[in-house]
Structure 1
Amino acid sequence: MKSNLGGAVWLASAACIAFAFLVQAAEPSPAPDLPDLAKIIRPLIDKDYPYLDTLYKHLHAHPELSFQEKETAARLAKEMRQLGFAVTEQVGKTGLVCVLKNGAGPVVLVRTDMDALPIVERTGLPYASQVRVRNAEGREVGVMHACGHDIHMTCWVGTARVLVQLKDRWKGTLVFIAQPAEEIGAGARAMLEDGLFIRFPKPDYALALHCDGQAAYGTVNYTEGPSLANADAVDIIVRGKGGHGAAPHQTIDPIVIAARIILDLQTIASRETDPLDAVVVSVGSIHGGTKHNIIPSEVHLQLTVRTFKDSTRKHVLEAIERMAKAAAQAARAPEPIVRVNPGEFTPSLVNDGPLTRRTVAALKTVLGEEKVLPRPPVMGAEDFSRYAQAGVPVCMFRIGTVEPQLLEAAKQGGRPLPPLHSDEYYPIPEPTVKTGVLAMSIAVLNLLGR
């Protein structure tokens, strides 16, 4: 018995060693000249940084909402034309497609997003946005780059500037796109429907980077496979019977019904979904009523819904409608209107496995193992996923943007870091931009021909 157990242990150990060897052998090897290229790229970035810093602060101070990025697109088009790219404007309304051909080789797409958020900035930065506009509903709103798209654009331009200076070191075609309306999940679809992969070279690979507000600058984070969630926008119009606040018995109060619906919705995740299957149902906006003593006739709720599995998404959307109608029926109210906005649906982002491993290997070679770290999936959403659905392998990685000391203090129970989409969030431009330009330049060069 003892002898058989020893043999089994030996066989298991041998199998594990063999498996580890096979896995190691299967790991992709980065292009052998990347360390030498990095030695050239770093001084180029250092020399270029004052220009990029000025560009970044200009973009931060002049944000534009989704599908309104006219001035932003014009500035980026000017930058890319000066570098020798063939630039096509107004692709997908306000999008840009910039193509640079440099011999036979792979086609690599690099994407940036351009739009900002309807937020009044409270960072206190000397270059903070003071922009105010009226939104689609006619309300005045602030406009702020609270998701780092200004950093994305700056790194996009910086990467293009590096690659143009290294044209004698690579072969292939660059397709740099500046995409509108990522924040409402509509820009990628608009560009694809406008012929992005028909009118222009279809890429063999697509890359993008994104700011990480909870990671130290100088670092890169990655997720292989499912990375970001499905996102749906749902509107519920709760209908009632208005009247005087002092005579509620003569009304059907839609505010009370809306409150019941909001509480009921929380049970979709807690009581109707497998605890290991991630679901988020958040009510982000409630509008109803005009005065203290008037019960309104309707209340408007706006929801964001996040899921990973398509089957879970279907169940959650059906459950929202079921619960809203049940709450109205219990109050003898008219049936509510429940609308799922297909124009704002964003499918889950799944980073291509081989491309992600190939990119990570390259980044580790240049930045170091300790600077390139895995990251678990999160419930945010990104319409970069639509390029994957169109048949292109995609990889989006994240760059840290905050001071390491502040990050460590927050981990030790200090002041929490402001998250993305906060009116207090801002990245530290240097070295965030330098890291982003270096990382994206290396990722692209790793894919191009020689």
Structure 2
Amino acid sequence: MRPVAAPETQPPRAELKAAVELYLALHRAPELSGAEHSTAALLTDRLTALGLTVHPGLAGTPSFLAELRNGPGPTVLLRTELDALPVTEATGLPYASAVPGVMHACGHDLHAAAATGAAARLAATRADWQGRLLLLGQSAEETLTGARALADDGLYERFGRPDAVLAQHAAPLPAGTLAHATGGPLMAGSRTLEAVLHGRGGHAATPHLAADPLLMAASAVVRLHTLTARETAPAEGAVLTVGTLHAGTRANVIPDRATLSLGLRAFTEAALDRLQEAVRRVLAAESEAAAAPGPPELTVTARSPVLTPDPDLTASLRAVHAEHLGAGRVLAAVPSPATEDLTHLTRLADGTRIPLAYWMLGTTPAATWRAATAEGRTVPANHASDFAPDLRQALPAGITALTAAARHLFADGPHAVGAFPPSPEAAP
């Protein structure tokens, strides 16, 4: 076992300055899922300058893998996302998004800057560790398609399986804190569904000669939300959201079809299966009640498995984080119905699992948190137009958390990683 370097509470000033500048550049120029070409180029240029070897354009997407070999030892993969959201920023920050209608409203710019900052710290301290560092920049996490594309493209067949995967995610918690899972799931599994309701178009003046799919859709939206309120046990924590409804072109024309996009979230595959079947039943019933000319179509466009961090690895890294950041800044995470597609890269098709450590990174400024707590209101959260991480606290903590976790695994070797046993089921 190699000696472990003394705990660091934050990176050196020069490295932190470079990470801040990278974050600001990323935040000003967000890109949507699958189109993160400039984002990837900015990151890979920085990683190449740090001495990492970059493999760009994975799976025909902007995703990339950067590699730093430093002698024999474990392979540790850090994952960051690249994509932003179709949200118009309303933070009023001087470095707000310069791209109309697009914003880093989920903190992926923070993740990328922190992961690159950790790579810089590890590259500068190679004498303190041995092994192989991988940094994965993943496209299209927000659409829950990026990780699956990489798995299907044979990421690990090309570059080898890591001994552990590390990732973190911005969350509306006090800035500079970390929150780990306590042994069970951290994030829900999900299904994204696209539904088409078929009608019979016609003139608004003669609605009796038509079958109105917009009315079917409106009725279905109300009924669909009862599936979690009245057909699902509250303890299951299931969530159903109708995110879009599109139908029609003019007020005097009854359309011939309506489309809905739905998101299902739950902490078991059985619950997701049950919800999906209930959605099909409700849509079919509304179509039949309206004498639709044909049954509805229902397609699964994306899915993500439940995300459960390795409990042994999580316990060891919680202690590492407490040592570096202070025990008061390391919290217990409440399971969240938020979803994440990274499990496609840790629960593999051959039934094996790669140990995953995944924690939440607090981003809410202290003053905002105190005021909201005192007044009994919520704080700006992910996907909101006013989501604005406290950069001074969150970024150093994110860099330190990844760096300390990687060093721990490199120093202690493969036996530091608590491996999952083979899974009896293949990854979906």
TM score, norm. by length of structure 2: 0.91
Q: Deviations over 1:336-377 (max 9, x none)?
A: 4332324x2111111111111111011011212110000111
CA distance in 2, matches of 1:237, 1:110: 39
Deviations 1:205-226 (A, max 9, x none): 10001101x2111111111331
Structure 1 residue 31: Cα displacement: 9.2
CA distance in 2, matches of 1:235, 1:337: 10
Give the AA of the match of 2:116.
V
Amino acid at match of 1:54: E
Counterparts of 2:368 and 2:234, CA distance in 1: 33
Determine whether 1:103 maps to 2:71: yes
Alignment match, 1:347: 305
Q: Select 2:37's aligned residue among 45, 66, 70.
A: 70
Structure 2 residue identity aligned to 1:94: P
Are 2:277 and 1:310 equivalent residues in the alignment?
Answer: no
What is the Cα deviation at residue 46 of structure 1? 2.5
Aligned pairs for 1:376-391 within 5 A? 376-390=334-348, 391=353
Question: What corresponds to 2:138 in structure 1?
Answer: 179
Whether contact under 8 Å (2:138, 2:147) holds in the other structure is yes
Aligned to 2:285: 326
2:358 to 384, 391, 396: 396
For 1:12, the equivalent position in structure 2 comes to: none
1:431 to 2:393 alignment: yes
Which runs of structure 2 are paired with 1:11-90 in the superposition (5 Å)? 33=4, 36-38=6-8, 42=10, 44-90=11-57
- Once residues 335 and 61 of structure 1 are traced to their aligned partners in structure 2, the CA distance between those partners, rounded to angstroms, is 47
Q: Which amino acid aligns with 1:448?
A: F
Give the CA deviation at 1:100.
0.9
Q: Is the 8 A contact 1:31 1:446 kept in 2?
A: no
- Note if contact 2:78-2:135 (Cα within 8 Å) is conserved in structure 1: yes
- Aligned to 2:235, the other structure's residue is in SS state coil
Which structure 2 residues correspond to residues 170-319 of structure 1 after superposition, within 5 A? 170-212=129-171, 214-223=172-181, 224-319=183-278
* C-alpha contact (below 8 Å) 1:45/1:434 kept by paired residues: no
- RMSD value, Cα: 1.8
State the match for 2:89 in structure 1: 121
Larger Rg: 1
State the Cα distance separating 1:415 from its structure 2 match. Answer: 5.3
| Equivalent residue number for residue 375 of structure 1 | 333
Per the alignment, in what secondary structure is the counterpart of residue 134 of structure 2? strand
Residues 80-89 or 190-199, more deviating: 190-199
Q: Structure 2: where are the runs of 5+ without partners?
A: 413-428
C-alpha distance in 2 between matches for 1:375 and 1:336: 43
Q: Secondary structure at the match of 1:447?
A: helix
Q: Residue 349 of structure 1 aligns to a residue in which SS?
A: coil
2:381 to 419, 422, 438: 419
Q: Quick one: which of 310, 318, 324 aligns to 1:366?
A: 324
2:4/2:407 contact within 8 Å kept: no
Q: Assess if the C-alpha contact under 8 Å between 2:15 and 2:121 holds in 1.
A: no
Q: Is the 8 A contact 2:195 2:298 kept in 1?
A: yes
| Aligned residues with identical type, % of pairs | 35
Cα offset, 1:312, TM superposition: 1.2
Distance 1:198 1:298 in 2: 44
* Distance apart, 1:45 and its partner CA: 3.0
Question: Does the CA-based 8 Å contact 2:333-2:360 persist in structure 1?
Answer: no
User: In 1, distance between residues paired with 2:402 and 2:411?
Assistant: 16
Q: 1:31 to 1:346 in 2, by over 3 A?
A: farther
| Farther-moved stretch of structure 1 (366-375 vs 409-418) | 409-418
Q: CA–CA distance in 1 between the matches of 2:193 and 2:152? A: 23
Structure 2 Cα separation of the partners of residues 45 and 208 of structure 1? 22
In structure 1, C-alpha distance between the alignment counterparts of 2:200 and 2:153, rounded to whole Å: 45
Q: Distance in 2 between matches of 1:32 and 1:268?
A: 55
Q: CA deviation at 1:414?
A: 5.5
Q: Number of matched residues? A: 406
When structure 1 is superposed on structure 2, of 330-339 and 350-359 the one drifting more is 330-339
Q: Distance in 2 between matches of 1:228 and 1:31?
A: 34
Contact 2:197 2:259 in 1 (8 A): yes
Deviation at 1:193, TM superposition (A): 2.1
Q: Report the CA distance between 1:275 and its aligned residue.
A: 2.6
The aligned amino acid for 1:301 is: L
Q: What's the CA shift for 1:406? A: 1.0
| CA distance in structure 2 between the aligned counterparts of 1:275 and 1:69, rounded to whole angstroms | 38
2: distance between equivalents of 1:189 and 1:334? 36
Contact 1:325 1:335 in 2 (8 A): no
Please say which of residues 109-118 and 234-243 is displaced more in the overlay: 234-243
Name the aligned partner's letter for residue 399 of structure 1.
Answer: L
Looking at structure 1, the residues matched to 342 and 396 of structure 2 have their Cα atoms a distance apart, in angstroms, of 23
Q: How far 1:160 sits from its partner (Å)?
A: 0.5
| Structure 1: stretches of 5+ with no match in the other structure | 1-29, 133-141
Query: 1:238: how far off?
Result: 1.4
TM-fit CA distance, 1:280: 1.0
Comparing 323-332 with 423-432, greater Cα deviation is found at 423-432
| Aligned partners of 1:233 and 1:303 also within 8 Å | yes
Q: Is the 8 A contact 1:175 1:201 kept in 2?
A: no
